[in-house]
A and B are shown apart, each in its own frame.
Chain A
């Protein structure tokens, strides 16, 4: 199962990525599985999207997909089918903060 992921520009620069990335989450396509796959493919991103140890989302990071804000949804909840089948990307977003 290939999931398309759009990262914020700051993290694309950090990881040396241009445009979308595609990851292969293990098992069910949950947010946790997608983030695990991102961190496996791009180890320099560990700790930048979620805490390394608690795995909690960093406060100014949001997760969007299919025009929904999934940031407060449980980590182990299935992502929308359109994300799982690659029709829609999973967006990691740096929150607008600071004016």
Chain B
């Protein structure tokens, strides 16, 4: 019988939750790396026992951990994330050999400084290759299981690089999607620069923000500057992208060349996470949040919204979720889906709850109630 393994990153350590395919009874192991922030953990699709974890601390910096036994034991891998030159075209600010300068909130230029890894995306074809999205925004790759890291500098060297600016959470590259039909095609998203696409394995990139409209920047339709919170795709249709932007839920059917809004009847279209049903490419999930100032659900009710039409028509899913006095947030990397026949949906909250629905969102139960604030949730479907 199939089983699932849920990888939960929190503000104070990592937890691994396991269940059989029924997804009713759960065993929770952890905390691993107690006291450290675990921004993200993700397993290799090639070798499911190989798990990468981003462990960080304001005191002691970044550590990358690797497990080769499904999270039972870990070893520290490499943590040398050195930028490869200055952003933007030749002549951009920044001396040769330095990481250069980028915009900050008040329009001044500040140095590009590595702070932490937000997201780890293992290769679809090689267990030793893993990509890292980092703050200050850049894309790195390791081809030796995390021991050494090299910047894929074609992204930051895009002519707009020096114009990127941080969002409230920092200037982070938080989303990495690899096209399963063509691994040379990748999508990334940066707060608050926007979405970018490469067709050549990262050598070159182009902004894909046409159709986004962000009222909080001087030119609401600018080429870059949009606070994209999360991208998602279904593996069978990698040219259809879904986006939870700061405000607005968006959709593109041409790999990001053009976007249109699909917020439809959502009660609020601010939010962080978005994901796609494992077997229904037009079924998508978001967790609406009241506003960018409030960062909690509407009316104290935790509601997942599902659209079976690829957006616009949304239904609230509440069965098993708290419907009063709930003021948690669900962060951008804290939703995932399994691949069992009856697709399971998972999300974690800043209140330390991890919820699962074993029936595509119709009913929910808590896997854990009292963990530290959840930063990320990933799910493995195992034989």
Contact = CB atoms under 8 A, between A and B. Distances in A.
A60 B36 contact: no
B80 A47 contact: yes
Given A10-B35, A13-B34, A52 B59 contact: no
Contacts of A17: none
Interface of A: 8-11, 13-14, 44, 46-49, 52-53, 58, 60-61, 94-95, 97-98
Main secondary structure of the interface of B (DSSP, over half): loop
Given A10-B59, A58-B60, 14 more contacts: A9-B35, A10-B35, A10-B60, A13-B33, A14-B76, A47-B62, A47-B79, A48-B60, A48-B79, A49-B60, A52-B82, A94-B60, A95-B59, A98-B58
B63 interface: yes
B114 to A, nearest CB: 10
A60 B80 contact: no
Interface in B48-84: 57-63, 76, 79-80, 82
A98 B58 CA distance: 10
B13 to A, nearest CB: 11
Contacts of B34: 13
23 contacts: A9-B35, A10-B36, A10-B60, A11-B60, A13-B34, A14-B60, A14-B63, A14-B76, A44-B63, A46-B80, A47-B61, A47-B80, A49-B60, A53-B82, A58-B60, A58-B61, A60-B58, A60-B59, A61-B59, A94-B59, A95-B59, A97-B59, A98-B58
Contacts of A46: 79-80
Nearest to B36: A10
Given A10-B35, A13-B34, A53-B82, A44 B60 contact: no
Nearest to A53: B82
Nearest to B60: A48
A39 B82 CA distance: 18
Contacts of B61: 47-48, 58
Nearest to A50: B61
Contacts of A8: 59-60
A87 B61 CA distance: 31
B52 to A, nearest CB: 15
B216 to A, nearest CB: 29
B58 A97 contact: yes
A97 B57 CA distance: 12
Contacts of B60: 8, 10-11, 14, 48-49, 58, 61, 94
